[in-house]
Amino acid sequence: MDEEKILTLSEVSKFYTSAQNIVVGLHRISLSFSVGEFVAVTGESGSGKSTLAHILGGILPYESGEMFFDGKATSSFDGADWEEYRSSSVAFISQNYGVLPGASVIDNITSALAIAGLSGREAKSRAKEILEEVDLTPFASRRAAYLSSGQKQRLSIARALAKPTKILIADEPTGNLDPENSEKVIRLLAAAASERLVILVTHEFSEAAPYVTRHITLEDGRVAADARLREAPPEIDTPRPEKEGATEKTARPASSPLALPVRIAVLAAKSRPVLSLVLLFLFTLETFGIFAFLGTLIPALDDTSARIYSSSIFQNGAPTRLAVIRADGAGMTEEDYAAVAALAHVSRVERYGYAADIHYAYRKNTDYTSRYYYSFGLLSEELTEYITLEAGMPFLQTVPVLKEGETFLTEGKLPGSFYEAVATRGAATLGEEVRIFLTDEKNYSRTQYIELVVKIVGITDIGEGLWLSDEVGALAESMTKTPDYLWIPSKSTELSDSSVILSAERINDTVKIPLSVDTPGFELTGVGRNQSTQRNLLEVSQALYRKMTATAPRDQLSVTMEDYAYTDRVIADLAAHGYAAISPRRVGADRFDAEAAEERYLTLGICASALILTALLQIFLLSALLSSQNDTYRLLSDIGLREKTAKASVLLEIFSLSILGQILTFFVIFILSRAGVERLLALTRYLTPQRWILLFCVGLFFTALTAHRTLKSLKKQVYPNAAKENDLPRYTDEEVTA
């Protein structure tokens, strides 16, 4: 075989098979072509011209015979060899242009050059030269869709010319053109033929006749005539910039392996801007769906809120409350309070943990006793007053432990004694004297209460209600711990250290209070009747009380969290810092509340459906939309885009859109929850960093499923050859003629 022959067909046959019959495309064709030839292929419609062009272009497989490229038998080519052949050795111009309508003129060319292995800069400068050659420079940035047919065809030719290949095949490039444009196109091809093999399929031989070196006529898939017309195409006077090595196979630059897929992904996205926006919107929507799903599911997994609260252990079962002790059992110090207050999601630390289980009855203009005096006053001569516990009645609180940089008071001063308190603005006014009733419902009945009159000495904007002195906190704690109450007079009256105020029936008694083994205790004389309904209450002077309780260690504090959602995190955080904490709300979570439980199951059901819907939306809708880009990839594959690169580019596009969608979702959630959309804010509270990552991963998982479907469709619609070729039955000539 002549080694100058770049392409040789030997007895090549091509059959098109359908359900019933087999059509002969080419029948035992034998032809050879060399670089420098400009070959016109003509023949009637259906004579096999396109079939021949596509086989030579490596686009169609053939059934029998052999095609040699550079002396190499192509029957030994595998899929990758064919891709290499199409991308590096052949430039193909099809009748329907094959340009990307959504991409600009220059992008159409540079992308083809990038596919052929040129670097970005090389591609750009070469594209500019070639546009000059085909008179398309003024239209460089115009979208190909807006070009006239002549311009599109010239773009298609420019793209082929720009590609540094030795073979250029054009299938009826002038089919849709007027004579003037046809002439331009043929002259361009003729000029190219000086350095390449140019094969021109045409139905109009007359317009090619002045330029071609050879004329092949096909008839029913056979070569009817093969005539040599001249040695070389005539010198063409077109602006031909210097193009040294243009036809030499360019070595693939050692650029990043991702450079080309990124380029193609950007091109594909840019070519269909509306589609890209819709995809981005759907990815965002989908992430939002996952967020709503997880954000609802996670709180619903905790059944505490579906259970009725039992106050048998903790009177105060506020969901945001935690009862905290030191893990080593030691008493709490100021350092402990500060350490706990500094933890994340802790909004308030109450030093007197037991006091937080004691109600205080106080509301502006509400007398909790007189109301019940009339209702229940007849029950007993002595028990004339009742305290009723209303839903939502507050629990005792003392001046809280401050977080760093926090100021408590806005006006006045902190309480300096038992009889002073701070009020949150609106609860009471500065200087006012208010009567409060303390009652521990858990240990005693509501007929047992302690009265205290306090003066408001400070105002705060924090929290609500009244903030009592530390001394009242300590007093209240002793009330929960001992059956005999040690107390102080309800009003700030002078009482000597040897006097005690007793209940009505014990008035004038002498009582001895044994404190501990090494203190003899105190002997006190009753001097009056106390205001309390508690029979065992002993009211002593403030000074004596302080003396008696000075050393009592406090071992439990009460934490208020920003939200119940943080319970697990704060408990874990406390444990890490050496504290043991429990959530009273959880400890007291008793039997299920039927309605709340049903609602919880409903929520879980809705969540599961939402996830399934999200998955379906994601996987089917998105992959269908993404597959509509297959047109783009088919065009690119015709000019040599490898399957591997196409896949990488599709993956890149999908995952970039998905990640961008996720970022957008997080951004929208952030903005909306900052703007005070409480429902969203509630969901975000449950999302720990790990759960955000989980959310992200679920999104990526769905994206991977979408990608899988999209790639399957890409393979099926754009790169079916590898699989199909093997499936093709190989017919013998006898079978066909039979």
The region of 21-29, 47-55, 554-562, 714-722 touching Mg ion under the rule CB under 5 A is 47-55
Q: Say how far residue 392 (Cα) sits from the centre of its chain.
A: 40
Distance CA 454, CA 129 (A): 93
Query: Which residues, other chains included, contact 302 with Cβ-Cβ below 8 Å and sequence gap of 6+?
Result: none
Residues 6+ apart with CB under 8 A from 362: 368, 394, 434, 435, 436, 437, 465, 466
The 3-state secondary structure of 582-613, one letter per residue: ECHHHHCEEEECHHHHHHHHHHHHHHHHHHHH
* Interface stretch with ligand ADP, choices 46-54, 283-291, 336-344, 429-437 (CB under 6 A): 46-54
Nearer to ligand ADP, 29 or 524 (CB): 29
Sorted by sequence, the CB contacts under 8 Å of residue 704 that are 6+ apart come out as: none
Q: In angstroms, give the least distance from the CB of 49 to Mg ion.
A: 5
Nearest approach, Cβ of 14 to ligand ADP (angstroms)? Answer: 8
Minimum gap (Å) between residue 119 Cβ and ligand ADP: 37
Which of Mg ion, ligand ADP, none is residue 16 near (CB under 5 to 8 Å by kind)?
ligand ADP
Cβ proximity of 567 and 296 under 8 Å: no
- DSSP E strands in 167-241: the ranges are 167-171, 197-201, 214-219, 222-228
Residue 189 backbone dihedrals phi, psi, to 5 degrees: -65, -40
Q: Which of Mg ion, ligand ADP, none sits in contact with 206, Cβ below 5 to 8 A by type?
A: none
Q: What is the closest distance, in whole angstroms, from the C-beta atom of residue 150 to Mg ion in the complex?
A: 20
Report the residue from 11, 23, 239, 735 that binds ligand ADP according to the rule CB under 6 A: 23
Closest separation between CB of residue 92 and ligand ADP, Å?
A: 14
Which residue has 């540094």 as its token pair? 164
Does position 25 interact with ligand ADP (CB under 6 A)? The reply is: yes
Q: Is 45 in the site for ligand ADP (CB under 6 A)?
A: yes
Instruction: Identify residues 358-387 at the interface with Mg ion (CB under 5 A).
Output: none
Q: Report how many residues bind Mg ion under the rule CB under 5 A.
A: 1
Sheet holding 5-17, edge to edge: 22-34, 5-17, 64-69, 72-73
DSSP 684-705: HHT--HHHHHHHHHHHHHHHHH
What is d(CA 276, CA 562) in angstroms, rounded to the nearest whole number?
41
618 contacts 709 by C-beta, under 8 angstroms: no
The option from Mg ion, ligand ADP, none interacting with 51 (CB < 5 to 8 A, set by class) reads ligand ADP
State the burial class of residue 48 (Cβ atoms within 10 Å of its Cβ: 0-12, 13-18, 19+).
buried
Q: Can you tell me which of 8, 13, 42, 51 binds ligand ADP, judged by CB under 6 A? A: 51
Q: What is the dihedral of CA 369, 371, 377, 379, to 10 degrees?
A: -90
Which residue do the tokens 């996952």 mark? 290
23 binds, among ligand ADP, Mg ion, none (CB under 5 to 8 A by kind): ligand ADP
The closest of 632, 639, 636, 640 to 81, measured between CA atoms, is: 640
Q: Is 42 in the site for ligand ADP (CB under 6 A)?
A: no
- Kindly state whether residue 47 participates in binding ligand ADP, applying the rule CB under 6 A: yes
Q: Which C-beta is closer to ligand ADP: that of 200 or that of 387?
A: 200
- Of the candidates 650, 720, 655, 706, which has an alpha carbon nearest to the alpha carbon of residue 260? 650
Query: Among residues 200 and 438, whose Cβ is nearest to ligand ADP?
Result: 200
Closest distance to Mg ion from the beta carbon of 101 (Å)? 22
User: Binds 141, which of Mg ion, ligand ADP, none (CB < 5 to 8 A, cut-off by type)?
Assistant: none
Hey, what are 467's tokens?
């903030």
- d(CA 269, CA 694) in angstroms, rounded, equals 28
- Encoded tokens for 532: 């309390």
532 counts as binding ligand ADP under rule CB under 6 A: no
When the beta carbons of 50 and 74 are compared against ligand ADP, the nearer one is: 50
Q: Does 50 bind Mg ion (CB under 5 A)?
A: yes
Q: Choosing among Mg ion, ligand ADP, none, which partner's interface includes residue 58 (Cβ < 5 to 8 Å by kind)?
A: none
Residue from 4, 16, 313, 342 that binds ligand ADP (CB under 6 A)? 16
Q: Is residue 50 involved in binding ligand ADP (CB under 6 A)?
A: yes
Question: Which x/- pattern over 234-273 shows residues binding Mg ion (rule: CB under 5 A)?
Answer: ----------------------------------------
What would the two tokens of residue 294 be? 């997880």
Which of the listed partners (ligand ADP, Mg ion, none) does 43 bind, with a CB threshold of 5 to 8 Å by partner kind? ligand ADP
Q: What angle do CA 654, 660, 661 make, to 5 degrees?
A: 85
Give whichever of 203 and 724 is closer to Mg ion, judged by the CB atom: 203
- Give me the amino acid identity at 91: A
Question: Which listed option, ligand ADP, Mg ion, none, makes contact with residue 713 (CB within 5 to 8 Å by class)?
Answer: none
Query: Which C-beta is closer to Mg ion: that of 44 or that of 568?
Result: 44
Residues of this chain that interact with Mg ion (CB under 5 A) are: 50
Residues of this chain that interact with ligand ADP (CB under 6 A) are: 16, 23, 25, 43, 45-51
